[in-house]
Amino acid sequence: MVVPIIALFFGLISIAIAIRANASLRQQDRVPMQWGINGEVNWTAPRLICLSITPAITIGILILFCLAIRAVSLRCESGGIPKSVMG
């Protein structure tokens, strides 16, 4: 039960950071995404899409971690994985 709470906490932090960044970049429609070796912008993305990618990836990875931990704990409880391996 602790892992989903921690995952929710970090997911909410990621969303809060994106909201704050959106507020500070409100005047820009597009945000630089990649710079070349000479320091010039190679390409840009729409601000809302750019700022939504990080929280979406963060939440997706945290969900996968929670599911993996749940699957391992269920296998351990059913005798599929020896408890000595799990600690």
Report d(CA 73, CA 58) in Å as an integer: 23
Nearest C-alpha neighbor of 72 from the set 85, 55, 57, 59: 85
Decide if 28 is inside a domain: yes
Q: What is the pLDDT of residues 19-50, one digit of tens each?
A: 999 999 999 999 999 999 999 999 999 999 99
Domain residues for 15?
2-80
Decide if 46 is inside a domain: yes
How many separate domains does the chain show? 1
Decide if 85 is inside a domain: no
Decide if 86 is inside a domain: no
The model's pTM: 0.71
For 78, residues 6+ apart whose C-beta sits below 8 A from its C-beta are none
Decide if 68 is inside a domain: yes
Decide if 87 is inside a domain: no
Q: Average pLDDT in the 59-78 region?
A: 83
Q: Are 29 and 43 in contact (CB under 8 A)?
A: no
Report d(CA 24, CA 76) in Å as an integer: 47
Q: In which band, very low, low, confident or very high, does the pLDDT at 3 lie, cut at 50, 70 and 90?
A: confident
